[in-house]
């Protein structure tokens, strides 16, 4: 089912989340050839990074934990990939996660000169030792938004961390409204969870003593709540991309009811690869047909009161 966000047309409302399987040219090409509604890149930094020591990703029954540490090829490679990736006739979204404001400005200025369709500015990476998640610091978030908006010539979205308090939703939403971002993607993984293997008596992943971002089924209620609250608080022009714990077409329907115009998949895409997009598109279409819906607009934000 197609959708529009920030005046961009997506052939399907289901796309990959930045993170899994979107770092190399081969990964991105596979997304281009798949039924993903867009190609979203791994968050890029100024310089290439190898990331944190392994093991740094583990799946468990109800989701996943990761502390990748931003392994990526450095933004210049993604700039080089743009012309090839634009051949797939779907939006190309570059995720930008500079380690400081000046890096974000340099990276975004470089993408301004390309045919990238949109920038998803990551305000929520939990896995860099010594760097707090920007989205939890409202003063820093405002400075970043103000400076980035001055130079960004592409539709701009922000990837948000999960919020858990209504006051924090209001603070972030008012910044996003004030600085007129074009879309928001919520949520990133729930930062700094810990999963322990009782057999080995050790954490599942190596970096940061085992602390890492939690994704998958664990996070769906938090993700739905973030989409719903942002839908209530944001200007209607700001499109919402929902992400967190989507495994099925019914999950997608729930995110659209909460106010998402599109969704992203992380853990399930890591586990199933690009074939998940065929399955999810089919399941979502079938469920909507059964309910009598055929357009995103007819369902988006239409959660009924109990
Ligand atoms: C990484 C994890 C994130 O949740 C994110 O937003 C960016 C990067 C990582 O560890 O690579």
Point out the residues that are catalytic.
125
E strand or H helix at 225: helix 220-233
**Total of domains in the chain:** 1
In this prediction, residue 94 carries a pLDDT of 99
**Rounded to whole angstroms, what are the CA distances from 77 to 41, 73, 109, 238?**
11, 6, 15, 30
- 24: exposed, middle or buried (Cβ count in 10 Å: 0-12, 13-18, 19+): middle
CB 162 within 8 A of CB 188: yes
In this prediction, residue 159 carries a pLDDT of 98
Cα 122 to the chain's mean position, in Å?
Answer: 8
In this prediction, residue 38 carries a pLDDT of 99
Structural domain contains residue 56: yes
Q: Number of helices and strands (H, E) in the chain?
A: 10, 16
Structural domain contains residue 303: no
Whether 125 lines ligand 1, by a CB cut-off of 6 Å, is: yes
User: Of the residues 103, 127, 186, 270, which should be mutated to test ligand 1's pocket, given the most ligand atoms within 8 Å of the CB?
Assistant: 127
Q: Name 72's Cβ contacts closer than 8 Å, sequence gap at least 6.
A: 23, 42, 43, 44, 45, 48, 49, 78
**CA-wise closest residue to 61 among 204, 258, 157:** 204
- 190: exposed, middle or buried (Cβ count in 10 Å: 0-12, 13-18, 19+): buried
Whether 224 lines ligand 1, by a CB cut-off of 6 Å, is: no
Q: How far is the CA of 306 from the centre of ligand 1 (A)?
A: 36
Its domain, for residue 30, covers: 3-298
What is the mean pLDDT for each group of 10 consecutive residues in the chain (306 residues)? 97 98 99 99 98 98 98 99 98 98 98 99 94 96 98 98 98 98 98 98 98 98 99 98 98 98 98 98 98 98 98
Whether 124 lines ligand 1, by a CB cut-off of 6 Å, is: yes
On whether the pTM is more than 0.95, the answer is yes
Instruction: Work out the angle at residue 219's Cα, subtended by the Cα atoms of residues 215 and 225, and round it to the nearest 5 degrees.
Output: 140
| Dihedral sign of CA atoms 160, 161, 167, 171 in order | negative
Structural domain contains residue 261: yes
Token pair belonging to 92: 């190309």
Q: How many Cα neighbours within 13 Å face the side chain of 250? A: 1
- Ligand 1 atom showing the smallest separation from residue 72 Cα: 11
Whether 98 lines ligand 1, by a CB cut-off of 6 Å, is: no
In this prediction, residue 302 carries a pLDDT of 98
Structural domain contains residue 220: yes
In this prediction, residue 24 carries a pLDDT of 99
**CA-wise closest residue to 161 among 285, 81, 41, 244:** 244
In this prediction, residue 140 carries a pLDDT of 97
Q: How far is the CA of 291 from the centre of ligand 1 (A)?
A: 36
**CA-wise closest residue to 62 among 203, 219, 193, 176:** 219
- CATH number where 60 lies: 3.20.20.70
In this prediction, residue 172 carries a pLDDT of 98
What does DSSP assign to residue 132? Answer: -
| Dihedral sign of CA atoms 266, 268, 273, 276 in order | negative
Whether 189 lines ligand 1, by a CB cut-off of 6 Å, is: yes
C-alpha to C-alpha distance for 231 and 236, rounded to whole angstroms:
8
Structural domain contains residue 195: yes
Instruction: Work out the angle at residue 209's Cα, subtended by the Cα atoms of residues 206 and 215, and round it to the nearest 5 degrees.
Output: 70
3-state helix, strand, coil in the chain (%, to 5): 40, 20, 40
- DSSP 3-state of 129: coil
Structural domain contains residue 12: yes
Q: Whose CA is nearest to atom 1 of ligand 1?
A: 70
Structural domain contains residue 126: yes
| Dihedral sign of CA atoms 28, 32, 34, 37 in order | positive
């Amino acid at each position: 089912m197609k959708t529009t966000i920030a005046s961009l047309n997506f052939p399907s409302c289901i796309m990959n989340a930045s993170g899994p399987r979107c770092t190399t040219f081969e990964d991105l090409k596979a997304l281009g050839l798949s039924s993903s509604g867009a190609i979203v890149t791994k968050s890029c930094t100024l310089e290439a990074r190898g990331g944190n020591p392994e093991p740094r990703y583990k799946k468990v029954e109800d989701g996943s934990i990761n502390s990748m540490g931003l392994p990526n090829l450095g933004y210049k490679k993604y700039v080089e990939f743009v012309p090839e990736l634009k051949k797939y006739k779907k939006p190309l979204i570059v995720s930008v996660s500079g380690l400081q404001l000046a890096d974000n400005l340099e990276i975004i200025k470089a993408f301004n000169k390309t045919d990238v369709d949109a920038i998803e500015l990551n305000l929520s990476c939990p896995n860099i030792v010594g760097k707090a998640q920007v989205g939890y610091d409202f003063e820093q978030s405002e400075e970043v938004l103000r400076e980035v908006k001055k130079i960004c010539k592409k539709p701009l979205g922000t990837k948000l961390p999960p919020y858990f308090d209504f006051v924090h939703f209001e603070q972030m939403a008012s910044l996003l409204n004030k600085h007129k971002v074009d879309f928001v993607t919520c949520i990133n993984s729930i930062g700094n969870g810990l999963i322990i293997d009782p057999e080995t008596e050790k954490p599942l992943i190596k970096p940061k003593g085992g602390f890492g971002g939690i994704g998958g089924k664990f996070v769906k209620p938090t993700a739905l709540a973030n989409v719903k609250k942002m839908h209530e608080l944001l200007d209607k022009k700001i499109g919402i991309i929902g992400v967190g714990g989507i495994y099925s077409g019914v999950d997608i329907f729930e995110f659209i009811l909460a106010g998402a115009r599109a969704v992203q998949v992380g853990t399930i895409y890591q586990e199933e690869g690009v074939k998940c997009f065929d399955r999810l598109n089919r399941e979502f279409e079938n469920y909507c047909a059964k309910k009598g819906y055929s357009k995103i607009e007819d369902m988006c934000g239409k959660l009924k009161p109990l």
